[in-house]
């Protein structure tokens, strides 16, 4: 199946050349890059959150496959929906789904269902694609949308993703001699060929200073690699972070893959683009290694 762009021309530029120019304007060519297991990246219109997304994508060594986990804003489809085959399209071309990895993730959890409906009109994953396509045109993806964000579901999704990525790295049979030596020195080098992207904006429609204070509470829990603490902080402080479920799942998966630390790359809000600081949406770009 071909999943066509739903928000091209709205959340980002609608033609190839205009989109390339838009994405390039948000990237930081001189940024120091790390091998990452996961990132948190926003999904608003690029005019608002593009500088944060660009900063975080600029800070990582690019993998071959991206597991994209985002919130389901539309309410369509399964509670946890994975599109297991086909392609996604934007003005920059088509991105293939990594079907073997998708099938492996599906096999790890009965909560994750094969489904396309949830993805057809949802923007949270699509907005990641211009950065991925611009930086890594041959990349493949595994798209997952979460409508069910109960804590047990978040943990199960994270464990399934982490197990599938680890199993994939362990089953890799054909490697060059150089790659084999690198694996001996650094067993996570193969794992780093897959990046887990949690797509989320932070606080919604709060004054900028209140949003920053609330968002820092959530950011601190991510910096501590504390998925359960993040979940509780969101609930207890009424933080309107739309992708907290994907973020919890991403941290769980990264910890299963040996994550040791996280870093905040950039924080911003919509007021920096609109000039309205009375009702902002917050954006955080974070990396887990």
Cα angle 243, 252, 147 (rounded to 5 degrees) comes to 35
pLDDT at 173: 45
pLDDT at 176: 42
DSSP assignments along the chain, one per residue:
-EE--SSBTTTB-SSHHHHHHHHHHH--TT---B--SEEEE--S-HHHHHHHHHHHHHTB---SEEEEEEE-SS--S-SEEE--SSEEEETTEEEEE-HHHHHHHHHH-TTSEE-SGGGSS--TTGGGHHHHHHH-TT-EEEEEEES---HHHHHHHHHHHHHHHHHHHHH-----HHHHHHHHH-THHHHTTEEEEEE----EEE-HHHHHHHHHHHHHHHHTT-HHHHHHHHHHTT---TTHHHHHHHHHHHHHTT---EEEEEEEETHHHHS--SSEEEEEEEEE-
Q: How confident is the model at residue 171 (pLDDT cuts 50, 70, 90)?
A: confident
In 3D, which of 131, 112, 9, 125 has the Cα closest to residue 58?
Answer: 131
Is the predicted pLDDT of residue 222 greater than 70, yes or no? yes
Instruction: Report the alpha-carbon distance of residue 58 to residue 56 in Å, rounded.
Output: 5
Encoding tokens for residue 201?
Answer: 């904006």
Mean pLDDT of 176-180: 48
CB 140 within 8 A of CB 32: no
pLDDT at 181: 56
pLDDT at 174: 47
In 3D, which of 169, 163, 83 has the Cα closest to residue 129?
Answer: 83
The model's pTM is 0.94
Condensed to tens digits (0 to 9), the pLDDT of residues 16-51 reads 999 999 999 999 999 999 999 999 999 999 999 999
State how many domains the chain has: 1
Encoding tokens for residue 22?
Answer: 């838009």
Encoding tokens for residue 70?
Answer: 């985002």
Q: How confident is the model at residue 178 (pLDDT cuts 50, 70, 90)?
A: very low
What is the CATH classification number for the domain harbouring 39?
Answer: 3.40.830.10
CB 268 within 8 A of CB 202: no
In 3D, which of 236, 58, 258 has the Cα closest to residue 169?
Answer: 258
Q: How confident is the model at residue 111 (pLDDT cuts 50, 70, 90)?
A: very high
First to last CA, the chain: 33
In which domain, by residue range, is 134 found?
2-288
Instruction: Report the alpha-carbon distance of residue 13 to residue 228 in Å, rounded.
Output: 37
């Amino acid at each position: 199946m071909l999943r066509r762009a739903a928000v091209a021309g709205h959340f980002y530029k609608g033609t190839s050349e205009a989109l390339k120019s838009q994405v390039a304007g948000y990237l930081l060519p001189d940024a120091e890059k790390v091998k990452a297991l996961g990132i948190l990246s926003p999904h608003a219109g690029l005019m608002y959150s593009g500088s944060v997304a660009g900063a975080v994508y600029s800070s990582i060594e690019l993998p071959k496959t991206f597991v994209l986990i985002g919130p389901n804003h539309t309410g369509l489809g399964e509670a946890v929906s994975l599109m297991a085959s086909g392609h996604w399209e934007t003005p920059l071309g088509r991105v293939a789904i990594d079907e073997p990895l998708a099938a492996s993730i599906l096999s790890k959890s009965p909560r994750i269902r094969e489904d396309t409906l949830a993805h057809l009109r949802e923007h949270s994953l699509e907005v990641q694609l211009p950065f991925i396509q611009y930086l890594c045109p041959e990349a493949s993806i595994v798209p997952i949308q979460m409508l069910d964000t109960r804590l047990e579901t978040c943990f199960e999704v994270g464990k399934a993703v982490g197990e599938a990525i680890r199993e994939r790295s362990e089953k890799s049979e054909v490697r060059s001699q150089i790659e084999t030596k690198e694996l001996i020195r650094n067993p996570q080098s193969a794992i780093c060929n897959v990046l887990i992207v949690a797509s989320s904006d932070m606080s919604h429609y709060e004054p900028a200073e209140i949003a920053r204070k609330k968002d820092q509470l959530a950011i601190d829990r991510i910096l501590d690699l504390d998925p359960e603490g993040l979940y509780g902080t969101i609930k207890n402080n009424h933080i309107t972070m739309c992708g907290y479920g994907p973020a919890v799942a991403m941290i769980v998966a990264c910890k299963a893959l040996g994550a040791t630390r996280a870093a905040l790359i950039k924080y911003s809000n919509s007021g920096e683009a609109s000039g309205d600081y009375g009702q902002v949406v917050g954006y955080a770009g974070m990396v887990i290694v």
